[in-house]
Structure 1
């Protein structure tokens, strides 16, 4: 990595955000740096970046078939880095608007689907035969609406969740693996099913070094999770996130059945998912709930 790449990486970290956001931003600026070096563009500092350099990068990414929504996010990262060193004039240049770059019109609607009951059963049975710990984590993800990292790190909360169920609590607190490290509370939709899943997970963890994914560190556990779930059928439209989509749709119906309005139900689900109550419309779009309710 040259001087430009090193400076951009440092600035990407300085922009702040969750660990994942910062990590994604670093990958974006490194990709941009690689693009310039591949074209033999000799730039040593961010202060030397010109509008045409960013245009060239985005045009190449479009030619590679990268989606508009993804490239909007990449432009947001590049703008943030430029603004860190006072390059507002470049960051906000009229040639670098999403419209000028051909990135407008992208939809936030989800490209994934809620997993179907049949596909879920097939995936779960395949996982149980291959790795009971992986299957237990998948089951918790489906029953609690967990993200992949939350499911992988769920072992640390199994006893706490079981105690909450036994107390008759209606919500469970998710602490480990959450986005931005922000704990969230999620509604219990089926206490009996969650209790059985927790008892099963605890039994597996006790016989497996107190882990569901028996790997020496978090990174290798996450890598194992992503590799294995693809192999058992969680890929494409039915990615691991499809378990969370299915849970979200169950949750919206749960709140509607309790007498909440559609807007209220969406706000409640947004909070359960860790998005905040102001993102009900976002949840409806991204999780495809507008097709279900």
Structure 2
């Protein structure tokens, strides 16, 4: 095994960030990057030797080989993780436009859906019902809702999500700011005891399959829409007006103060949803600029 491959393998094995699936995908991706750099003539002896010229060479190679922009963005995510682990977090720009990549066309209509009593009545499983409620009231992903251990996460005024529960291994905190959230967490603690919604005698994969099968039988096709509903609810309570996706004002109809508040709130919601970039929030809240204008940008 080449020096760089071995070093990256050691880093990934000791990181422990994210689910097993996330860790495995990242480890394979980093090994691929090491092989590509070697093929391009860069025989790095250690991961800490990563430099901007190496990233530029990788991106240029990917483009020359016709790799889609979406795939390049994903690979750059691995490079950013690598850079962070060798104490070079700012080396790879957060903005993919720097590398000449097309911006994601994220917004494709309002995907939010409300978790009504009628929807919950079709679920027939108290633990899956609780998972859906956590997605709706805290903006959790499926994996996060199932792995969450309320007795550990509930800190009174905030929900603390351990890295091993979250996508990409990103620790984060979500404020507990509404009585509905407090009440739900009390229910979750009573249901889970010292554990999680996965339950005793099952692993996460089995719990995930059960979750998916239960939703399929219940006729729920887009549980991620409950996470969208959380983001829009959060936006409205923090700004005082609905987001663009929910027919709220876009930038051309906001005052300067409202535009500043919109940006501040989007940053906060981005953090609470576990995203690293502000533009991702457009998927949930709608673009702050009118859609026609953003498409022409």
Residue of structure 2 in register with 1:244 after alignment: 227
Counterpart of 1:175 in 2: which secondary structure?
Answer: strand
Shift of 1:214: 0.8
CA shift in 2, pair 1:58/1:153, >3 Å: same
CA shift in 2, pair 1:185/1:9, >3 Å: same
Which whole-Å CA distance do the structure 2 matches of 1:100 and 1:255 have between them? 32
Q: Does 1:136 align with 2:130?
A: yes
* 2:199 maps to which of 178, 192, 214: 214
Shift of 1:247: 0.4
Counterpart of 1:261 in 2: which secondary structure?
Answer: helix
Which whole-Å CA distance do the structure 1 matches of 2:64 and 2:283 have between them? 27
Residue of structure 2 in register with 1:271 after alignment: 268
The answer to whether the Cα contact below 8 Å between 1:140 and 1:146 also exists between their aligned partners in 2 is yes
* 1:151 maps to which of 139, 145, 154: 145
CA shift in 2, pair 1:150/1:255, >3 Å: same
The unaligned stretches of length 5 or more in structure 2 are 243-256, 291-297
Q: Does 1:176 align with 2:161?
A: yes
Residue of structure 2 in register with 1:29 after alignment: 30
User: What TM-score do you get using the length of structure 2 for normalisation?
Assistant: 0.57
Deviation by residue 1:31-84 (Cα, 9 ceiling, x = unmatched): 3356789x9x9x795689997984697359855895443244245456778997
User: What TM-score do you get using the length of structure 1 for normalisation?
Assistant: 0.57
Cα RMSD over matched residues? 5.4
Counterpart of 1:187 in 2: which secondary structure?
Answer: coil
Residue of structure 2 in register with 1:19 after alignment: 17
How many residue pairs align between the two structures?
A: 254
Residue of structure 2 in register with 1:201 after alignment: 188
Shift of 1:229: 4.3
Which whole-Å CA distance do the structure 2 matches of 1:225 and 1:104 have between them? 38
Deviation by residue 1:208-267 (Cα, 9 ceiling, x = unmatched): x743221568xx33x34544444425xxxx765443222011111223338993532552
Residue of structure 2 in register with 1:107 after alignment: 104
The answer to whether the Cα contact below 8 Å between 1:8 and 1:29 also exists between their aligned partners in 2 is yes
CA shift in 2, pair 1:119/1:213, >3 Å: same
Deviation by residue 1:110-138 (Cα, 9 ceiling, x = unmatched): 6796332379964x445x32x42122122
Which whole-Å CA distance do the structure 1 matches of 2:65 and 2:208 have between them? 25
Which whole-Å CA distance do the structure 1 matches of 2:241 and 2:271 have between them? 21
Alignment of 1:28-67 (within 5 A): 28-33=29-34, 45=45, 54=58, 58=62, 63=67, 67=71
The unaligned stretches of length 5 or more in structure 1 are 93-97, 165-171
The answer to whether the Cα contact below 8 Å between 1:150 and 1:177 also exists between their aligned partners in 2 is no
Deviates more, 1:262-271 or 1:242-251: 262-271
CA shift in 2, pair 1:142/1:292, >3 Å: farther
